[in-house]
Structure 1
Amino acid sequence: MINQSELENSKEVGIITDISDKELHLALGLSDPTCNNEISQQDQNESTHDTSNSTAPSEPQLFFQAVGLVRGQYLPSTEKLGSGILLLDDGVIAPTNLLASAVYTVKKHPNLLESPQVWIVYPRVQVKNPPFLNFAIRGARLPLEGEDAEVINQSVDDFSIRGIVTYTNRKAGNFVIKVYRNFMPWKEQEGTKYKPHIFTITGVLPSEGLPCGQFWDLKVKRVADQLVLEDATFITQVFEPKKPKKGRSKRQGQKRKAKRNQSNPQ
């Protein structure tokens, strides 16, 4: 939990306020999310071969990403194949869902559900109740022809996370990174808000100043339901960090209210 006293210590703690989709896309050179993104199917097909497509980041280094490998057995729920749990090799049980590509794969190869597999996953985090780390499975990472399975196993629990740091606490030894969308959907429902994926990483970034508002490329390791920093590469400064306003404590507010009542008796 982040408290006010931590935020006031600007030497140890940094924070950046929430970033709107428009601010983010303009800062990274992406298309304006408020513009009309409805285009014809022909235009979509042509844009896939057009390197000047305005919806792509101007710098490939600024692609957001959160992906990794885990090893465990996927156990679907009785109601739905695409929703279940992953029983990981270290005993962690993580709520998991299958993406469309993974549903197709396990339907075609049902034997994948009979034993632990190495899965390509997108990590997700929930903050209300443990386990805090859960996954969306993209597919199974099977050895290619002539590939040593042991090489794949050495990468299990390794994750690549690329995003913008929005909070850091060097004293506590952790920071928060947000992973946004790289592309706006072609048709965005009115009133729909796409929230970024937020990850709390254990570790300290190798930066001289506060890294808030900076884009970083991280290599992290899953340890139980935590993500631990192993390596980090600074990419660029996207937003300048903002010092949080000092808010009045609840006790101070009660004292002021009592004082007003004494000076203005009814």
Structure 2
Amino acid sequence: MRDHPIPPVTEPLQYRAIGVVRGTYRPEDADQFTRGVLVDAEGQELEAVVLGRMLTLMRRHLAMDAPHLWVVYPRCRDAGHLHLQITGIWEPSTLQPGASDDALPEGDNYFSIRGELIYTRPETGDLVVKVRQKPRADGSRPLPFKLQLKGEIPLDQLRHFVSLDVRRQGQELHVESHELIAPMPTRGGKGRGGARKGGGRSSRPQARA
């Protein structure tokens, strides 16, 4: 088992949107276990679905009436409405014999978001990041998705690849810190910073979960 539920970045332009949320999963009904809500300590309900590989683990090994620290992929279908895809759990004390510390240095409700900044309005604290997903096993490419976030990033960083440390607050994701990685390439091979010189190869963004 890794020592952290969020894997390290392996490429400078690696897309991803992943985080951890502590809560109690409550299925929609007994016959629809894969769809339900995560209820946090404040009683906030977050729309959630369980990805297939988690079903057996949840049913056989977890106390479903207790809170757990879930590893999730965030989606924003509407402003102010967070949707979570449950892909894992971080609970070494339960799943790894001899382990006792389930706490993470970043704390609960932490998300790592990496993608293209396509909208920012610093005066209102609104921004949108586009995230591309890695190809499926059959070779098909899922459509990119957009995450609506809260935070202040200057307009001159629009159309750049950014890495964001984000914290969930209720139904919103708030940027705590951000790093500017690189301008996004445009058609014709030019970035916003100008044409490449010397015929050097540019780094291509790598899609990840």
Shorter-chain TM range is 0.7 to 0.9
Structure with the bigger percentage of strand: 2
Structure with the bigger percentage of helix: 1
- Cα drift, residue 187 of structure 1: 4.2
- Which one has a bigger Cα radius of gyration? 1
Residue aligning to 2:3:
none
User: Structure 2: any 5+ residue segments left out of the alignment?
Assistant: 1-9, 193-209
Q: 2:59 aligns with which of 107, 116, 120?
A: 107
Partner SS, residue 172 of structure 1: coil
- Cα drift, residue 184 of structure 1: 5.4
Partner SS, residue 107 of structure 1: helix
Residue aligning to 2:104:
152
Paired residues of 1:168 and 1:210 also in contact (CA < 8 A): no
CA distance in 1, matches of 2:35, 2:105: 25
Residue 164 (structure 2) pairs with residue 218 (structure 1):
yes
In structure 1, give the amino acid aligned to 2:120: T
TM-score (norm 2): 0.74
- Cα drift, residue 152 of structure 1: 3.1
Moved more, 169-178 or 232-241: 232-241
Q: CA RMSD in A?
A: 2.4
CA distance in 1, matches of 2:137, 2:53: 19
- Cα drift, residue 89 of structure 1: 1.5
Paired residues of 2:136 and 2:142 also in contact (CA < 8 A): no
Moved over 3 A (4+): 144-147, 239-242
Paired residues of 1:75 and 1:85 also in contact (CA < 8 A): yes
Residue 50 (structure 2) pairs with residue 98 (structure 1):
yes
CA distance in 2, matches of 1:185, 1:154: 32
CA distance in 2, matches of 1:237, 1:133: 28
- Cα drift, residue 222 of structure 1: 0.4
- Cα drift, residue 204 of structure 1: 1.4
Partner SS, residue 59 of structure 2: helix
Residue 19 (structure 2) pairs with residue 68 (structure 1):
yes
Render the CA deviation track for 1:178-227: whole Å, top value 9, x for unaligned: 11113355343xxxx8332211221112x5x5222111110000011111
Q: 1:238 aligns with which of 151, 167, 184?
A: 184
How many matched pairs?
A: 174
Partner SS, residue 32 of structure 2: coil
Q: 2:41 aligns with which of 52, 74, 89?
A: 89
CA distance in 2, matches of 1:154, 1:178: 24
Partner SS, residue 200 of structure 1: strand
CA distance in 1, matches of 2:68, 2:169: 18
In structure 1, give the amino acid aligned to 2:37: I
Residue 119 (structure 2) pairs with residue 167 (structure 1):
yes
CA distance in 2, matches of 1:165, 1:158: 19
Residue aligning to 2:72:
121
Partner SS, residue 232 of structure 1: strand
User: Structure 1: any 5+ residue segments left out of the alignment?
Assistant: 1-58, 243-266
Partner SS, residue 124 of structure 2: coil
Would the alpha carbon gap of residues 100 and 184 (structure 1) be closer, same or farther in structure 2, given more than 3 Å must change? closer
- Cα drift, residue 230 of structure 1: 0.7
Percent identity of paired positions between Structure 1 and Structure 2: 25
